[in-house]
Amino acid sequence: MQKFKIKSGDTVKVIAGDHKGSEGKVLQIIKDKNRVVVEGVNMISKHVKPSASNPQGGIVKKEASIHISNVALVENGKAVRVGYKIEDDKKVRFSKKSEKAI
């Protein structure tokens, strides 16, 4: 299993693809497919059948996943690369740009 440097709840910026430049919060990480779902990015229209929870049915707008290599963590409004280091016997993520722990 691969370890990702981006976690759920992180704010990320899309650095490649159709939605390049847009920012959002990571809602979900799909580990087996190396993909992430970012809030407000890569919106699709999904046709939903009527059901008990949604009696009307219809067309629903929702986020689709994008590849994890196309997003970068955001710190102070800029995309940064992430590294790991040991501080006080704890492994912490840090920004390679500012050398500060995230």
* Domain coordinates in residue numbering, the chain: 11-95
CATH of domain 11-95: 2.30.30.30
- 93, 101 Cβ separation under 8 angstroms: yes
Region 47-60: what's the mean pLDDT? Answer: 93
Output the pTM of the full model.
0.85
Would you state the torsion angle of the CA atoms of residues 55, 56, 57, 62, taken in this order, to the nearest 10 degrees?
-100
3-33: pLDDT as tens digits: 899 999 999 999 999 999 999 999 999 999 9
